[in-house]
Amino acid sequence: MINYRYLGNSGLKITELTYGNWLTHASQVANEQAAACVRAALDVGISSFDTADVYANTAAETVLGDILKGERRESLEIFTKVYWPTGPGGANDTGLSRKHIMESINGSLTRLQTDYVDVYQAHRYDHETPLEETMTAFADIVRQGKALYIGVSEWTADQIREGVKLADQLNFQLISSQPQYSMLWRVIEDEVVPASEESGVSQIVWSPVAQGVLTGKYKPGEAPPAGSRATDEKGGANMIKRFMNDDVLNRVQKLQPIADELDLTMAQLAIAWVLQNPNVSAAIIGASRPEQVTDNAKASGVEIPAELMTRIDEALGDIVERDPNKTVETNPQGRVA
Active site residues: 55
Q: What's the angle, vertex CA 193, arms to CA 187 and CA 194, rounded to 5?
A: 125
Determine the length of the chain: 337
Pairing, β 48-50 against β 77-82? parallel
**C-alpha pair distances (Å), 259 with each of 6, 93, 264:** 28, 45, 5
80, β-bridge pairs:
120
**305's torsion region: left (phi>0), alpha (psi -120 to 50) or beta?**
beta
In the chain, the amino acid numbered 321 is: E
- The CA distance from 135 to 250, in Å, is 45
